[in-house]
Amino acid sequence: MSTTPDDPRIVYMPEDQILAASGHVDAMRNRWFSVHPERGLMFWQTERRRMGKLTGASPQCNSDEATARKLAQQLYPWAETRFYPLVLAPIDVSDWRD
């Protein structure tokens, strides 16, 4: 099952923004990301109330290069797989409340 680059569940983080998030963030270290060559790093957002937003979206990455490449090949054959030593993504602290 592959997905098109325009799927509304995909949210992109431009590469020049990977260290721009501030406040409460998820710091992802040493990850292989699926990347659209022009739009940036890919995140999967399934919540309708957050469509188009990075907050709460699942990063499309893995710490293992082979796993990241295999998943990208199956899900996003049009994407590239790139390594990033650090990516900061915004989070909503209320997502972790009891």
Model confidence pLDDT, tens digit, residues 31-54: 999 999 999 999 999 888 888 888
- Coil, strand, or helix at residue 97? coil
Q: So what's the pLDDT on residue 52?
A: 83
Spell 7-21 as b/e; 16+ CB within 10 A means b. Answer: eeebbbbebeebeeb
Distance CA 57, CA 12 (A): 10
Distances (CA, A) of 85 to 18, 47, 54, 72, 98: 10, 28, 19, 19, 31
- Mean pLDDT (the chain, rounded): 92
| The pair of three-digit structure tokens given for residue 19, joined into one six-digit string | 């260290």
| Beta-bridge partner residues of 12 | 42
pTM of the model: 0.90
